Chains A and B, each alone.
Chain A
Amino acid sequence: MSAVIDIQDLWVEARSSGGSFQPIVEGVTVSVYPGEVVALIGESGSGKTTTALSAMAYSKPGCRIVGGSITLNGRDLLKLDQEERRQLRGREAAYVAQSAAAAFNPAIRVGDQVIESTAIHQLMPRDDALREAVKLYQRLDLPDPERLSSRYPHQVSGGQLQRLMAAMAMSSSPALLILDEPTTALDVTTQISVLSAFKDLIRGQNTAAIYVTHDLAVVAQIADRIVVMQNGKVMEAGATEQIISRPENAYTQTLMAAVRPPPKSISVEGEGSDQTDDETIVSVDSITAGYGRTETKIVLQDVSVAVPRGKVVGVIGESGCGKSTLARVIAGLLPQRSGEIYHHGQALPHVARRRTRSVLKNIQIVFQMPDVAINPRHRVREILGRPLDLFIGLSASARESRIDELLELVELPTSYKTRLPGELSGGEKQRINLARALAAEPEVILCDEVTSALDTVVGKAIIDLLKKLQANLGVAYLFISHDLSTVASFADHVVVLYAGRVVEQGPLASVLAPPFHPYTRLLLNSVPELRTDWLDGVVASKAHLDHLGQAVDSSKVGCPFFNRCAVAVNDVCNRRDVPLRQMAQGHTVACHLELDALRE
């Protein structure tokens, strides 16, 4: 049996900002056989997408393929002219992009885009193609398949669009499917249904597939073989089982080490060890906050959280649930509508500028995007020096040596003092951000998704650093993340946020063990685990996938999770205010169900 796609010794160059061409893919060899899924993994910029796109003889603007051979179904693509290449694209190989929302043309109906390949290559009449599309929609569990074709992209939700991308790719029954991080932009709870839909489809059609991702746990579910890339080169290639359980290459081992264990497997000794008599530094009480002038955009509703001295409070929830808003309210960047923020029991003014210097000093914030969180025109010395001047007040020489100390604290060379942010990598910028917060010697640092924009390995190093600082300096964190594994590996106390409301909170151990709030349970079950049979195991209980297509509903009556909850009680959950149940010391769950029901 011959390979569907056989890429040998591929070299690709890209134009650098100076105008000269630099290699970005160096001698990569990959081949995929029918019915096989090969994953390309590696951190961002390692050349995964470039390699995958070359299988369609395509390179992004500014890039060019300079060497090697690419054989698709027995033909060497690099020997074909433009027109012959065009004939292959969409017919023999199809592409699923990372962001479906951007890859769908906003001006054309979904159906016409799904069947466009068949129209371009005149594979079948339009009516037949549309009928086939409806069958694909059904197999992908898309709601309302009969009418879906006539919608416009903005009328379809993100998770559904991503599945429609798969339908679009499969409409012409290509021999090769290229999937480029197709679930990265999705929330975990949505990712699971999309992932299983993709898997069914590929298995069902016996299609060969190249799956690009940076997430090893996702790869484990779907790939037969894995190719690990770094800096444009292949580090290691092998069967999925082998790479996951016995990585040989040093870089692969680092990647594996950075994967956090799934939260379910974490066992925390001593249930509910916190709360007791730790002094509370910062707390918010029944905060309601939102954007805009009118009441239309309420984002946080009745949120109460407390951060004890030296502890880590993790805040978890999907994107848009109001996590960042919470941090902004506490930092005094967004005045709340109602409720109070307390610092050592004292209510704080809503706006940062009105707060006392000592309050400002003791509550620091670190943002998600390292690129925009520091002023690109300020040098590192200025960035770290400003909080020193404001909050500490040192002589010139003491200031200078304190800056050195701070850089050492975040494990950066002191020579970085004179650099501009543009001269630092993403991880280094994030360390500077952290050092700036530390400069004020705060009691608590609000960390908003501080690792989300970083590659896994770099992110893990930041988490390790945070842990070390906590142990050495006794600083507390409000640690916000959409990634349950990260929070679970780190937090003492966990707050689960859904549609701007706290649905469950308590000591880490109690939150990770039954009784669960139904949403927490869903989250826990959705985090992919690093074993190849995880997805099949989860999807065996297909019931819980059914509700996930729904968009988050933030209606004010009843339980916000109602439309996605597998165990919801109609006429109760959607009608009545949700009671807050005390489970154990400091552990609360907001749900209509009784303790026993939540336990199973």
Chain B
Amino acid sequence: MVRLLIRRILLGIVVTWVVSMMIFAATELLPGDVCHAVLGQGATEQSLESCRERLQLNQPMHTRYLQWLGRLATGELGTSLANDLQISDQIGARAWNTVRLAALTALIAVPLAVLLGLIAAIRADSSVDRGISIGTLCFISVPEFFTGVLLVYILAVQLRWMPAVANYRDLTRGDFLEVIEALALPIATLTFAVLAHMTRMTRTAVLNVMSSPYIEQAILKGASRSRVIIRHALPNAVAPIVNVIALNLAYLVSGVVVVEAIFRIPGLGTLMVESVIYRDIPTVQAIGMLFCVTYVGFNLIADVMAIIANPRLRHPR
């Protein structure tokens, strides 16, 4: 098992490395060079030159790649092309908003989804199950901006229960209640987005386990419903459920970008979108790398837990 774990972790590192190369290579796809693309037709020779200087385009590609990796590792990301601010400062200022939003959402969505998925699986084909199934189907289908806009329209505009726009910049120092009030709608929107998938996949995973012959055997031993589920089904459902969670925390990464835009939260998502519009490639690369590492990390954790949860691997022959 240890060898399997080590192999899996090494694979994670390789994937991260490949991802970093691809992100770096994105700039090399351009016909001219980045500076041409960014500064446009009207750029003077002088501004082009200074831009190239800053991005060190005069050096060979592999040197630049290695330097870029080094800068990523040390956090010395240089200055943005759009303004002269330090990229790392900008990211630092906004990361907390994103992490807080995502973490609070995960904290609510994961237990809720697992619970709903379990209920749906245990009461498969009942009206509760059908209700959950139709509800989740709808939420899978609708875009985040629909949920967001609808929530704002009903709760903030029509009912005036909460502010439609919050001042997220000051939130860093705000007290807990204030934070909750301001983030309630974004969190709700994001929760709906990830909840549905997670619930459905949890249900399938548990149902798969519940249809195994050993579950029938347990029932025929006279095991009560709760014993069947807790002692026989859950230990075998852990690995698939963990996988489901990891997969959906990845949806969270994508969802965050849109939700931040709906509520105009100054987080990494909005920063990245702005940077794309300004063609501020170094910033996009840095944030993209950050998101990807998180994503790969989640998947790695899920795989590791699935390996640990597998009795065949834990107790080899």
Contacts and interface: CB of A to CB of B under 8 A. Distances in A.
A58 B220 contact: yes
A497 B317 CA distance: 27
Contact of B231 (A90, A103, A108, A152): A108
Given A102-B214, A154-B311, A155-B315, A108 B232 contact: yes
A120 B220 contact: no
Interface string B157-182: 00000000000000000000000000
Contacts of B212: 102
B142 interface: no
Interface of B: 211-214, 216-224, 227, 231-232, 235-236, 311-312, 315, 317
B222 A102 contact: no
A99 B312 CA distance: 18
13 contacts: A53-B220, A91-B222, A106-B214, A108-B231, A108-B232, A108-B235, A116-B218, A120-B221, A120-B224, A152-B311, A154-B312, A154-B315, A154-B317
B312 A104 contact: no
Closest A-B pairs by Cβ, 9 of them: A90-B222, A90-B221, A89-B222, A107-B235, A102-B213, A105-B214, A95-B220, A103-B217, A117-B221
B220 A152 contact: no
A175 to B, nearest CB: 14
B218 to A, nearest CB: 7
Contacts of A56: 220
B223 A120 contact: yes
A121 B222 contact: yes
A551 B236 CA distance: 27
Interface string A36-79: 00000000000000000100101011000000000000000000
Contacts of A151: 315
Contacts of A86: 222-224
A89 B235 contact: no
Given A105-B232, A105-B236, A107-B311, A58 B218 contact: no
Interface string A138-159: 0000000000000110110000
A264 to B, nearest CB: 36
A51 to B, nearest CB: 15
A116 B219 CA distance: 11
Given A97-B217, A103-B216, A104-B214, 17 more contacts: A56-B220, A58-B219, A89-B220, A90-B221, A90-B222, A99-B213, A102-B213, A105-B217, A105-B235, A107-B236, A108-B231, A116-B223, A117-B222, A120-B221, A120-B224, A155-B315, A168-B221
Interface of A: 53, 56, 58, 60-61, 86-91, 94-95, 97, 99, 102-108, 116-117, 120-121, 151-152, 154-155, 168
Contact of B214 (A61, A87, A103): A103
A518 B82 CA distance: 85
Nearest to A83: B224
Contacts of A58: 219-220
A152 B221 CA distance: 19
A88 B235 contact: no
A470 B232 CA distance: 53
Interface-centre pick from B216, B220, B223, B235 (highest chain A CB count, 10 A)? B220
A165 to B, nearest CB: 9
A152 B315 CA distance: 7
Contacts of A120: 221-224, 227
Nearest to B237: A107
B217 A106 contact: no
Nearest to B217: A103
